[in-house]
Structures are given as C-alpha cells and as structure tokens.
Structure 1
Amino acid sequence: MALFSKIKDDFQDWHENKSAGQRTALGLTRNLDDGSANVISLNVETGSKSIVQLKDVGAKKVRLKYNGVLPQKAIVGLWNALTSCSRNPKILQNEADKLNEKLSQRQFPASPEEVREARHEIMNMLKAEGGFLDRNSVSQKVLEAFDFELKKKASKLLRYTRYNWKPLDFKTREHAAAYTLAKFAPNYAEVYFVLQEFKNNGYIPQTVLDYGSGSGAAFWAAFEHWGERVKSYLL
C-alpha cells in the first residue's frame, strides 16, 4: 500500500510538471516592430504544429456590454419545458445547481497519445520501485495475474487525473432540463458577448448553425443580434 501511495504521488508530480511544461511551450512571440504576434498551436490528436500570425488592423474598438437579461421568449419557452417535466421545477433547479458544480470541475479529455504516455510512465515508476517480476522464473498463470493487477494499479492512478474522462449522458427529459437550467444563461452570455464583435463591421450571416450542447443558447444569442435578417437558423 505504501508503494502504491508513493507511485501515486510521483505520478501526480510528473503529471503536473508535464502539464505546466505544455502550457509554457505553447507561448506567444511578439514582434515589436509592427505589433504582430505569432501564436504557436498544437493539434493534440496528430501532434502537428502550426503558427498563426495575429496583427491589430486598427479596427474601431467597441465597448462590449451585456446586461445579463435573457430574451423573454427564451424564458417563456424554458418555463414551458420545465413545467412539462415529471419533476417539480424546484427539484430540477436543485439538480441543476449540483450539475453546475460538477461541470465547473470537469476538464477536457486527454488525447490517446497522452493516455499512452501516462500509462507508460506509470509502468516505469513501478519498474523503478522493484514492482516487476522476473518473467523467466514464474509460471504463465502468475504472469497473467501480475499483469492484471498491474493494469488495475495503472488505471487507478489514471483516474486521479483527466485521463479517465467520460462524456456525460443525459437519457431523460428531466436530465436535459436540469442541464439547460445549469448552462443556458452562462452559455447565452458567452455567445452573446462574442457576437458583439461583429458590430465592428456590420457583418450579418445568411445562415446560423447552433451546433452546441442542445440548450439553444447560441440560437437565442444570434437571434438577439440579427433577428430575421438571417435567412435560416438551424439547431
């Protein structure tokens, strides 16, 4: 048990140091002559890197505002959906508060490459601590049992980080309602705030696709900005 605890601490130190190293490696380089900045980005799936140059084009700056008020039609629609559920709205609100707390602590899933690297690091730690058998001196059954226990230990250590990420599964109308209660307002505010940038150039899209989590927050944010001037809204 003491060995497992030590390996757990060593692995968490390695994971934190590795994450910190990744963050500092993907930095910005600024050219003081023309005010441009080179952004180095990394595709975690393929490992490929690219450089994007950003430059201030001198666009008119607009002070972005958001008053925190949701569209009245969205509020009415949400209320109708809540009252059609089998649970009392107060109970749904309580579930939404708990879900919101859970969502605030979630991280993005690790890439397959990161998981393999983390598992390999655990194996190295176990080996360094004398946790590997001499495979030539034990039977096949002992080896199979040892490999099974080793995988269990590795999986347990991985669960202490984001390597054990799983998607949320909303199977019922009530689950969906609780999620919408938890995330509709903040998601709407985020999208609404970003879309204000388009006020700089008067851009109006022909179609809008709300490919989000299903709450419709992006649709309502877009509709508040452009209304029926957009030819088609898709959810």
Structure 2
Amino acid sequence: MACLPIEAQDAVEVLLKKSPVRQLEEHVTSLSNYLWSRKRPPEDRDLREKAIELEKKFTENKHFQSDINIYQKEQKLKNDVLNSLRKNIYHWQPLSYTAQIGLVYLAARFDGGFAAVSRVLHEIYQRVPGFSPQTLMDFGSGIGSVLWAAHGIWGNNLKEYMCIDSSASMNTLSELILRGGSEQGEMHISGVHFRQFLPVSPKVQFDLVVSAYSLNELPNFAERERIIQTLWRKTGGFLVLIENGTREGHQLLMEARDIVLKGGDKEVWDHRPAFVFAPCPHQLECPKLAESSQIPCNFVQRYQPLKFSWKPSVRWEKFSYIIFSRGPVGESDRHWPRVVGPVLCRPRHVHCNTCCSDGKLHHHVITAKKHGKDLYRCARICEWGDRLPAITSNLGPDKTVCDEKECS
C-alpha cells in the first residue's frame, strides 16, 4: 500500500492549518469530480464537421421549408447550429491554479497522484535494477508528487530534479512542501529546480522524464504533439506518461503512443528507437481500442490517504499509464502477460484477464494441475496490473466459463 512520506504529510498539515480556504471538503469533492470527468478540448476540425452535419440536418427539416426570406432563413440556421454546438460539444477551459486552488488540489490529489506515480516508477525499478537515474525532468510538476515518489525509490542517487509547471503558485507550493510548510525550512530533497517553461533544446537529456496528469491541460492536438515530441527528445532512458484511468485518459496516452512510436520529429539527436516498456507486453496496437465497449486500459493502486476526517483509512487510485524506453530493455521477460483486470480466486482455480505478447486480450483459468504449482501460486497472489511469469502459449487456450463443480 502506497503512503506519502511522513515529511510530506507533516508539511501538508502545516499548510492546510493556516489555509484561508473554507469548506475544504466541499471544494475537494468538487475539484476531484471535475478533474476525473475532464475531457480533451475539441479540435477546430471536429467543430467544423459537426457544424456541417447539423446544418444539413436542420436544412432537411420541414421547419426550414417555410416561405420566410433567404436572409432570415440563413440567420435562423446559423443560430440553431451554434446553439446546438454549445449544448452538445464539451466546453473545455484551461485551469488557472491560483494559490487557493493549489491548496484544494493539494488536499484532493497529492496522495492519490503519489500512489499512481510510485506504482508506475516501481515497474522500472523492479524490472531494470541496473537503472539508477541521476537526473529527472517532471513536466506539469504541480505539487511535486513525482519528485517525492522518485526520491522514495532512488533516493540520493537522483542528483537533479527539473520541475516544470506554468503556474508560479504551484511551484511555490511545491517548494513549501519540500521545506516542511515554512519558507525558512530546509529543503527535504536537494537538487530541485523549478521552471515555468519547458526547455526545448535536445542537447541536454534527462535519465528519467515524467508527465503525470498533465496532457489534458494542453489546448489542442498540435500542442500535445509538440510537447510529447519535446519530452521524448529530452529522454535519455525512460519517458513515463500517466493520466486518469478513464476512457479519455487512455485515449490521450494512445495518442501519445502513436506520436512517439511513429516519429516525425524533425529535430532528432538521439537515434535510439522508442519501445513500449510497460504496460504493454508487445509493440502492437492496444487491443482495448478494438473492443466495441472501448473499456480503457487502466490499473489501480491502494494507498493511505491524507488524514482528513472525511477520508477513509484506505483508498484506491485508478490510472492509466505508458512507459517508453530508449531501445529494447528487459528482453528476457518483456513478453510476460499483463493482468488487466481484477483477479478472481476460486477453489482450485484462478481467473485472469491478460494482455499478451500477441497483442490480444485473453481470459485464462489457471489451475495447479494444468499449469503447474508455481504458476498457480503466482496467479493466486498477483494483482491487477501485475505480470504473470509465463508465455502465452503455455497458458493454453482461453476459457471464459469455469466448471460448475469447481465454482461450487
């Protein structure tokens, strides 16, 4: 179970005690719901296509076959199309993180964001023990969840943290947390630098580049493409992208996946190719996108939330993520299937939904008799998001219905 370092928890308590924000619980709930349901801004091309579709629909309506003059008809058509667009198109607005909103965000998202980032970074730490990053760049760093999580894993091996956030208030708040909630306090983590603008020069790379819950704050696809290409350009080892575990968050990551894997960046200095390190055990298109239901590829992490009277003792963070590596890494086990849903343990058998190296989703019923005791034990203790130490062919054919006698 993930838990914020005690130093971070103490700093949050100090900051919120002297906070001017009233009715904090209501503000936290409102902001959390808004961020979870947030969608990408509509593209101008999509708006034009929708407008043409509506115009055709209204023109064919008998309502427009009346004898009013042409000018009045055009004006009415224009007004009806605009009103329909306003009602049916998502109205995206940029978020402005003032000092007060930053404190609400701190109470709402610090613990859950830290939990997700810790879980994702542990994937690298466990699978590539020889990777010991010295430099980290965090785009959209906000209140510093990434640097706290990275420091908790690699400790003093990390010498430099470049934290980039366009909000000066968030940068100030992040530094206050590092100082224990006081401007005069000592920095708990050294080597941290704050910037409001993303450096675009490809000459300086970072061992680890992370962007957590930030892609949806960019105003259009062109800007997302530019930022993602810049982040990959700055990546020396791994690029980590994390978003909400919603359909929207998953689609943002799949968009980023295409941008990185297909290339197209004219300013290439590092010619090592991009590989999907996790969560996919393959380099093919995400099979979740091919499903008619379009259920997102997401994962969960249990964590201990900040100590507020309205929060339970344990919560779960649902998130989607993707990790890119410079060149293939962890070749010996990179084809292990990934568990992409809750694991159901039943008497003498285990149900696992997996994404496998063939680029397809599978449902397996694992038993000690058919698959061996070792794999059976692994399946019983594995969790949503873990990998099964097996090759797809060794798991046998899919089985979607368990034997009634075994289930009884």
Deviations 1:97-134 (A, max 9, x none): 22112222222223332222222222222122245479
Higher strand share: 2
* Match of residue 190, structure 1, among 106, 116, 131: 116
Answer whether contact 2:28 2:104 (CA < 8 A) is retained: yes
1:166 CA displacement: 1.9
- Aligned pairs for 1:23-42 (under 5 A) are none
* Conserved 8 A contact 1:118-1:158: no
Residue 32 of structure 2 is matched in structure 1 by 100
Q: Report if aligned partners of 2:118, 2:149 keep a CA contact under 8 Å in 1.
A: yes
- Contact 1:123–1:154 at 8 Å: present in 2 too? no
> Is structure 2 residue 15 aligned with structure 1 residue 84?
no
SS in 2 for 1:169: coil
| In 2: Cα distance, 1:71 partner to 1:155 partner | 47
Q: Does 1:138 align with 2:52?
A: no
Q: Corresponding residue for 1:150?
A: 80
Q: Which residue does the alignment assign to 1:175?
A: 101
RMSD of Structure 2 on Structure 1 (CA):
2.5
Measured in 2, the distance between the counterparts of 1:71 and 1:219 equals 12
Separation in structure 1 between the aligned mates of residue 112 and residue 8 of structure 2, nearest angstrom: 14
Distance 1:122 1:76, change over 3 A: same
- Hey, which bits of structure 1, 4+ residues long, moved more than 4 A? 131-135
Q: Is the 8 A contact 1:126 1:132 kept in 2?
A: yes
1:234 aligns with 2:162: yes
Secondary structure of the structure 1 residue equivalent to 2:53: helix
The question of whether the paired residues in 1 share the 8 Å contact of 2:64 and 2:73 is answered with no
Q: Give yes or no for contact 1:92–1:177 (8 Å, CA) kept in 2.
A: no
Equivalent position SS for 2:38:
coil
* Residue of 211, 215, 218 corresponding to 2:139: 211
In the alignment, the residues of structure 2 paired with residue 131 and residue 214 of structure 1 have an alpha-carbon distance, to the nearest angstrom, of: 52
Conserved? CA contact 1:207–1:232, under 8 Å: yes
Seen in structure 2, the aligned counterparts of structure 1 residues 149 and 110 have a Cα distance that, compared at 3 Å, is: closer
Percent identity between the two aligned chains: 25
- CA distance change for structure 1 residues 213 and 134 in 2, over 3 Å: closer, same or farther? farther
CA 1:81–1:144 in 2, change beyond 3 Å: closer, same or farther? Answer: farther
- Judging by fraction of residues, say which structure has more helix: 1
- Conservation of the 8 A alpha-carbon contact between 1:99 and 1:179: yes
Q: Is the 8 A contact 2:54 2:81 kept in 1?
A: no
Alignment CA distance shift 1:201-1:111 (3 Å):
same
Question: After superposition, where does 1:108-119 map in structure 2 within 5 Å?
Answer: 108-119=40-51
Q: Which amino acid aligns with 1:230?
A: L
Tell me which of the two structures has the higher relative contact order, counting C-alpha pairs closer than 8 angstroms and 6 or more residues apart.
1
SS of the equivalent of 2:161 reads strand
1:75 to 9, 13, 17: 9
Distance in 2, Cα, partners of 1:110 & 1:74? 37
Listed as ranges, the gaps of 5+ residues in structure 1 are: 1-66
Secondary structure at the residue paired with 1:204? coil
